Amino acid sequence: MTIESPDGDIIDCVHKRRQPALDHPLLKNHKIQKAPPEMPKRRSTAGKTNDDEDAATAAPAPAPSNGAEVAKGAWQAWHQNGTRCPRGTVPVRRSMVDDVLRAKSLFDFGKKRSPLGLARRPDAPDVVTGNGHEHAIAYTGSTQEVYGARATINVWDPSIEEVNEFSLSQIWVLSGSFDGSDLNSIEAGCQVSPELYGDSRPRLFTYWTSDSYQATGCYNLLCAGFVQTNSKVAIGAAISPVSSFSGSQFDITILIWKDPKLGNWWMGFGDNTLVGYWPAELFTHLADHATMVEWGGEVVNSRPDGGHTTTQMGSGRFAGEGFGKAAYFRNLEVVDADNSLSSVHGISTLAENTNCYDIQSSYSNEWGTYFYFGGPGKNPQCP
């Protein structure tokens, strides 16, 4: 069955046993896991305060203001007319010839650019990867054992200056050597990438690598690896509706966690809708556990005409503008060894160039640990 989306996408309903994931040599005899034995349990955090936050630099209050309201979670455009894939199949967004031609090469199609091995601060997460990538993120320490992460992500449609640039808001689940070639990463969130998708719509995406983005892994289902189990969520499809300045705010919730029984890394979308999983066989370090989680935004700055790009991060507004104007992540949580979710406390934040993109974090009873982030890119302070 094939479904034509109102936004121009073509969704093919593929039998679950013929999906791209199972072409991976490590999954030759893989038996599809229908569902994890249990979802992560929420641990009570009553009475906790974010003692590590400096009130002078805390993010603006999360309470709705300026007439804006938090609307229900954003969903996907391709089944707005009620058409869905039949049971026993999974929706796969069709790649067109033009999609491949926009990539630098066939090998590069669907892959992130490899890191350049730039020097890093010893206490910083793996974000300073060169190739013009810039970030505004919150992250956990690198000494704990982590088994998953969750957050609710504000959905916007940031403008992109160059076709080969992108802007994304995502969760990273990481393990391995940040300065070597064995970094394992699982990523999911929303992304605007004209090069990858041929338009400027925000799209639900996933990514994985087991060798620091060198040869393994890819976006979405563009290579073998991620096993999809859901017939209603199409990875790589547009998210609709999106937030508007001083208007309704839309967000999506992403949950990534390790099934304690079989060791696969599952992804939940929205209200605990199971999308699929990254099999444990794909990884080395993540076959055991993660050591760091990151939440936040990333853009590619290709420095068009020698100056900073005008590609926006988040809503294109700085963190200090607050609700309804700046983009947010709320209810940051991690999964621990006993499969329990708890609010993150004592997070660190990082932005390479706060004149271009910045981040401010805080804590509230309603939003738990949260932050505003983003920026316009090029401006008088960011030439």
- Residues assigned a catalytic role: 187, 298
Half-sphere exposure of 295 (CA within 13 A, CB side): 32
Q: Can you tell me which residue has the tokens 């020698």?
A: 306
Q: What is the Rg, in whole angstroms, of the alpha carbon atoms belonging to the chain?
A: 19
Quick one: which H or E segment has residue 9?
A: none
CB 147 within 8 A of CB 194: no
Name beta bridge partners: 137. Answer: 296, 350
Name beta bridge partners: 149. Answer: 256, 334
CB neighbour list of residue 107: distance below 8 Å, 6 or more residues apart: none
- Encoded amino acid at 308, one letter: H
- Tokens for 1? 């069955």
Q: How far apart are CA 207 and CA 57, in angstroms?
A: 32
- Tokens for 265? 């890394």
In 3D, which of 365, 269, 262, 377 has the Cα closest to residue 313? Answer: 377
CB neighbour list of residue 270: distance below 8 Å, 6 or more residues apart: 73, 75, 252, 253
H-assigned helices in 96-207? 97-102, 194-197
Residue 105 burial by Cβ neighbours in a 10 Å radius (0-12, 13-18, 19+): exposed
- Encoded amino acid at 339, one letter: N
356 DSSP assignment = T
CB 328 within 8 A of CB 62: yes
Q: Can you tell me which residue has the tokens 């699982």?
A: 186
